[in-house]
Amino acid sequence: MSLSPNDPSTLDETVLSVRDLRTDVATPSGRKTVVKGLSFDLKRGETLCIAGESGSGKSITALSIMGLLPEPMARVSGGEVLFEGQDLTRIGEDAMRRIRGGDIAMIFQEPMTSLNPVLTVGRQLREAIRAHQDVSRSEADARALEMLTSVRLSEPARRLKQYPHELSGGMRQRVMIAMALACNPKILIADEPTTALDVTIQAQILQLIRDLQRDFGTAVIMITHDMGVVAEMADRVIVMNHGHIVERGTVADVFERPSDPYTRGLLDAVPKLGALTGIDTAPKEADSSQPPVLEVEDLVVRFDLHGGLLNRVTSRVHAVEGVSFRLEPGETLGLVGESGCGKSTIGKALMDLVAWEGDIRIAGTPAGIGGAQQQKRLRRDMQMIFQDPYASLDPRMTAGDLVGEPLVIHGLASGSDLKDRVRALFERVGLPADAMARHPHEFSGGQRQRICIARALALSPKVIIADESVSALDVSVQAKVLDLLQELQEDLGLSYLFISHDMAVVEQVSHRIAVMYLGQIVEMGTRRQVFENPQHDYTRRLLKAVPIPDPKRRRNVFDVPTGEIPSPVLPLGQSVDRLRYSDIGDRHLVAVS
């Protein structure tokens, strides 16, 4: 049976029934109910979106359905999850393992913590496929290659041999999506499936999910804070707040006639591309007495690849190639581009976390030279908010200790003064003071990102490199954090290198914008210049791919680029000459000797 996705007239077969689901978690003050009597039905070929703030119970609901709660810390305390006549909360682990990954698959929110770091991508995909399908190893390998190609990873054959840490955040997310879709599941639970992806890849993934629904009648539960994605994909919407459903209805009803004040607040907080059209807040000419806080000239980052019998260097990844820019006091430079284009690598190079060539000056002081004390001082002037909050937080330390650690290392606070300053930082990013005693695994993804932001603010730096700093946050918290960052910028004169794939957010916070493609900046200008009159074909494609938070403007088919996916890997002796990106979507990397 072939279904038309998002056509309610074809949605008549219930594949999952959740009845009065309740989930408890252990806290220092006793067990707390975080999912409170949740009930809904999911029909074949339907997309049900669950929206709500970070910590509202969305992800816990998904883990409860999948039987992946970390017992006894968390457990289903009541209700039913009915799939094909079975209550998934009461079947054994062996039976659940046969269902999980095959009939019901899940795309997890944080790919780095969901992938095994000691196994190659290919082996993990092959194991997942063979666990649920009676196929040979060669057939599983072929299917794995097919899935990596379908999620549009460049050089998919080479990616199969790589380990998760060798991929960017967006690439790892695409691997997780490929793994979830590999067995053609009857139900796909997607927990923030496009959070780490730029808008062009997001459009491709959403189209892939639609194709899966059309071809196999797959039902989708999509957990997301991106209301643009909800408007594009949902048939029905559930809005959660503090473990309760506060609103439910068709996507048109929820967007056009929200009945609950909480839902109206969520929709009001959604950043909308073009809302600032005609407004230009480019920074004023810099005062001659105030030099740039950051100067980057001809930055190059390349990674050697080894191969052959003697394991010699055979080629190089041209991750960043000749990038130059300046950052003025109190300025926000937005850095946008596809996953794997080199955005995060630039941030790591500025923090001296990867080897680089070129010239970097922080407040006039050259980076990469001098002793340990000078480098320590430079680190105080420039801090980074990393893309993956869970991987950047020590799981053995409490949140309070993590936020206070920079103050201790630099000798800026101790004792009661340290506690007071940490408490104030928690309040500024919207976390309660009692959260200081909890460990990273006890927080939601969005809450962990707020801890990272508080940690970056601890030293009152001159420059903050924000690498997807709000991508894990729901829209209401995102709006608060963006307001906070702008308030700090005005009060303290902070400068931001704001790395993001969310074009609406970039438009909202940036004075200038740099667009990256395959390691190079292909366009740079003021917010008004880039968004109102983009000059490069790639910039125009990025803007065209942005999801619109309006169900009336839903696209029937996403604009997916065609042509061979380019790679930044070149043989020794070749270098990047120029980039060309045509309007029809074919992309080419031109190499010269």
- End-of-domain residue from the set 218, 252, 268: 268
Q: Among 556, 522, 557, 564, which residue's Cα sits nearest to residue 542?
A: 522
Q: CA end-to-end span of the chain, whole Å?
A: 54
Residue 107 identity: I
Please give, one letter per residue, the 3-state secondary structure of 523-551: EEEEHHHHHHCCCCHHHHHHHHCCCCCCH
Residue 554 identity: R
Burial class (CB in 10 A: 0-12, 13-18, 19+), 204: buried
Two tokens, residue 544: 């065209």
Pair 263, 301 in one domain: no
Pair 248, 395 in one domain: no
Question: For the CA atoms of 348, 463, 196, 256, what is the dihedral angle to 10 degrees?
Answer: -170
The pLDDT value recorded for residue 10 is 46
pLDDT average, residue stretch 420-437: 91
* 250-254, 451-455, 502-506: range with lowest mean pLDDT: 502-506
Report the number of secondary-structure helices (H) and strands (E) in the chain: 20, 23
pLDDT average, residue stretch 556-568: 65
* Model confidence pLDDT, tens digit, residues 196-250: 677 777 887 788 788 878 888 899 999 987 788 899 899 999 999 999 999 999 9
The pLDDT value recorded for residue 561 is 61
| Residue 251 in this model has a pLDDT that exceeds 90 | yes
pLDDT average, residue stretch 310-319: 85
How far is residue 394's CA from residue 372's CA, in Å, rounded to a whole number? 23
How far is residue 516's CA from residue 250's CA, in Å, rounded to a whole number? 38
| Residue 111 in this model has a pLDDT that exceeds 80 | no
| Residue 9 in this model has a pLDDT that exceeds 60 | no
* 277-281, 355-359, 483-487: range with lowest mean pLDDT: 277-281
Per DSSP, the three-state class of 86 is strand
* Model confidence pLDDT, tens digit, residues 475-519: 777 777 788 788 878 887 889 999 988 888 899 899 999 999 888
**Bridge partners, residue 117, by sequence:** none
Longest CA–CA span in the chain (Å) reads: 74
| Residue 547 in this model has a pLDDT that exceeds 60 | yes
Q: Among 381, 409, 403, 391, which residue's Cα sits nearest to residue 452?
A: 403
**pLDDT tier, 350 (very low <50, low <70, confident <90, very high otherwise):** very high
How far is residue 401's CA from residue 438's CA, in Å, rounded to a whole number? 10
**pLDDT tier, 550 (very low <50, low <70, confident <90, very high otherwise):** confident
| Residue 113 in this model has a pLDDT that exceeds 90 | no
The pLDDT value recorded for residue 125 is 94
Two tokens, residue 52: 């709500």
| Residue 582 in this model has a pLDDT that exceeds 70 | no
Q: Half-sphere exposure of 504 toward its Cβ, with a 13 Å CA cutoff? A: 20
DSSP assignment of 381-405 equals HEEEE-S-TTTTS-TTS-HHHHHHH
How far is residue 431's CA from residue 449's CA, in Å, rounded to a whole number? 11
Pair 181, 241 in one domain: yes
pLDDT average, residue stretch 148-166: 88
The answer to whether 381 and 460 have CB atoms below 8 angstroms apart is no
Pair 229, 327 in one domain: no
The answer to whether 378 and 372 have CB atoms below 8 angstroms apart is no
How far is residue 270's CA from residue 504's CA, in Å, rounded to a whole number? 9
Instruction: Specify if 282 maps to a domain.
Output: no
- End-of-domain residue from the set 202, 233, 268: 268
Pair 256, 303 in one domain: no
Which letter, b or e, does each residue of 426-458 get, where b requires 16 or more Cβ atoms within 10 Å of its Cβ?
A: bebbbbeeebbebebebbbbbbbbbbbbbbbbb
- β-pairing, 14-27 with 74-83? antiparallel
pLDDT average, residue stretch 105-117: 83
Sign of CA dihedral 367, 368, 371, 376: positive
The answer to whether 316 and 570 have CB atoms below 8 angstroms apart is yes
Pair 523, 444 in one domain: yes
| Residue 275 in this model has a pLDDT that exceeds 50 | yes
Instruction: Specify if 275 maps to a domain.
Output: no
Instruction: Specify if 520 maps to a domain.
Output: yes
CATH number at residue 105: 3.40.50.300
Pair 258, 323 in one domain: no
pLDDT average, residue stretch 36-45: 94
| Residue 2 in this model has a pLDDT that exceeds 70 | no
* 125-129, 227-231, 332-336, 584-588: range with lowest mean pLDDT: 584-588
CA 335-340-344 angle, to 5 degrees, is 45
Chain-centre distance for alpha carbon 29: 33
The pLDDT value recorded for residue 586 is 41
pLDDT above 70 as % of the chain: 89
The pLDDT value recorded for residue 564 is 54
Name the domain count of the chain. 2
Pair 237, 299 in one domain: no
The answer to whether 498 and 333 have CB atoms below 8 angstroms apart is yes
- β-pairing, 357-362 with 294-307? antiparallel
Q: Which alpha helices (H) appear in 16-168, and where do they start and end?
A: 58-66, 93-99, 111-114, 121-132, 137-150, 156-159
Instruction: Specify if 278 maps to a domain.
Output: no
Q: Among 294, 303, 314, 292, which residue's Cα sits nearest to residue 357?
A: 303
Element (H, E) at 219: strand 219-223
Pair 343, 259 in one domain: no
Q: Find tokens 């680089």 and name the residue.
A: 356
pLDDT average, residue stretch 187-195: 86
DSSP assignment of 426-465 equals HHHTT--GGGGGS-GGGS-HHHHHHHHHHHHHTT--SEEE
Instruction: Specify if 163 maps to a domain.
Output: yes
Question: For the CA atoms of 208, 210, 214, 217, what is the dihedral angle to 10 degrees?
Answer: 100
Per DSSP, the three-state class of 420 is helix
The pLDDT value recorded for residue 576 is 62
Give residue 547's domain range: 294-581
For the chain, the average pLDDT equals 84
pLDDT average, residue stretch 356-384: 84
| Residue 584 in this model has a pLDDT that exceeds 50 | no
Instruction: Specify if 3 maps to a domain.
Output: no
| Residue 74 in this model has a pLDDT that exceeds 60 | yes
The pLDDT value recorded for residue 424 is 93
Pair 264, 343 in one domain: no
- End-of-domain residue from the set 233, 268, 303: 268
Pair 262, 302 in one domain: no
Pair 247, 333 in one domain: no
Burial class (CB in 10 A: 0-12, 13-18, 19+), 197: buried
The answer to whether 574 and 580 have CB atoms below 8 angstroms apart is no
| Residue 47 in this model has a pLDDT that exceeds 90 | yes
| Residue 398 in this model has a pLDDT that exceeds 90 | yes
Best-predicted range by mean pLDDT among 197-211, 329-343, 393-407, 444-458? 393-407
Give the contacts of 115 (CB within 8 A, at least 6 positions apart).
121, 124, 164, 172, 175, 176
DSSP assignment letter at 186: S
Two tokens, residue 41: 């039905």
